[in-house]
Amino acid sequence: MRASLLRRLALGTALTVGLLSGAALAAGPLTYGLKPTRIAPDTYVFEGSTKHFTRSNGGNILNAGFIVTTDGVIVIQTGPSRRYGEEMRAAIRRVTDKPIRKVFISNLHPDYWLGSQAFTDVAIAALPGTIAGIEEEGRGIADNMYRLVGDWMRGTEVVVPTEPVLGSTVKFGDHTLRLIPLHGHTAADLMLLDETTGVLFTGGVVFCDRTPTTPHATVADWLAELDAVEALDIRLLVPNHGHIRPDKACVAQTRDWLTWLDGTLRRAVENGLDMADALELPIPERFAVLDVLREEYRRSVAHLWPKIEQDSLPRVN
């Protein structure tokens, strides 16, 4: 009887493994299916999801891009994994056979730079603060992505940018790029304005129809960053998260959210609420256009509450 039971269990296990293997083969290898969209002369973007990092999207929630100049290709962000970076490079090759001259990384958040293994043969440039942040937090950031998106991350390792850059205007072939160093969304935020086409790559400074993220944010400084964006003459705004726009409407949208968020949490502290209460506060209807609204609001409460609460406490000398 025991032998018969063991045989049935073994058969059941074999069938289960066979079915799972068949399903995996049917599903095929993981792929981001990256397709570049031309948004301006010589300028392309890989448009990502406006959702969270998940195992269904592989962490593809950003708008990475590239510019094809007469002197070669400029890449802006490398994506959330080695797989993404490799697919991105292959997609660029389908557009042009010109060599990649330089990669720019806008901040230390994972979807901006974890694909950099695919570009280690060229200079990878970032602000000194971003380089320091990746050196300090990169391994933990990568480990967290492995937990969030699983097998999409296979083979991904930390690659620290190799070239520190500051604010300057640089010419690549027939395109002139203005590098704009800021801080607020993170401790070091790099925006790139292509003065030739008027396309502004804002990195994480502007979100468009997607709720802003705040794990490294200082809200007052972030609002000052938005002032800097408002002062620029642009034709097209490319946020790292959300929809590409021919205007600055999403600058006002991002400002409105940050102003409401900061003011609401400060009033909650002043009124004696605790963090559990703040997590459930109502969100104004005008923000319903923002994707992942309640989820990101709750994450922001967790990020910002301790400092706001600390600021409100009287100091005793």
Task: Give CA–CA dist 163/153, Å, rounded.
Answer: 25
Scanning the chain, the segments in alpha helix (DSSP H) are 2-27, 82-95, 110-113, 128-149, 219-230, 249-270, 275-279, 293-312
Q: Are strands 199-208 and 236-242 parallel, antiparallel or unpaired?
A: parallel
Q: What is the pLDDT along the chain (317 residues), one digit of tens a residue?
A: 334 433 433 334 333 333 333 333 345 689 999 999 999 999 999 999 999 999 999 999 999 999 999 999 999 999 999 999 999 999 999 999 999 999 999 999 999 999 999 999 999 999 999 999 999 999 999 999 999 999 999 999 999 999 999 999 999 999 999 999 999 999 999 999 999 999 999 999 999 999 999 999 999 999 999 999 999 999 999 999 999 999 999 999 999 999 999 999 999 999 999 999 999 999 999 999 999 999 999 999 999 999 999 988 776 66
DSSP state of 285: G
Please check whether residue 63 is in contact with residue 240, taking contact to mean a CB–CB distance below 8 angstroms.
Answer: yes
What pLDDT is attached to residue 22?
37
What pLDDT is attached to residue 13?
38
Please check whether residue 195 is in contact with residue 169, taking contact to mean a CB–CB distance below 8 angstroms.
Answer: yes
What are the structural domains of the chain? 37-248 (3.60.15.10)
Phi, psi (deg, nearest 5) at residue 139: -65, -45
Span between the terminal Cα atoms of the chain, in Å: 79
Q: In what order do the strands lie in the sheet with 43-46?
A: 37-40, 43-46, 64-69, 72-76, 100-104, 123-126, 163-164
Contacts of 89 (CB under 8 A, 6+ apart): 100, 118, 119
3-state secondary structure (DSSP) of residue 178: strand
What pLDDT is attached to residue 27?
52
Please check whether residue 308 is in contact with residue 265, taking contact to mean a CB–CB distance below 8 angstroms.
Answer: yes
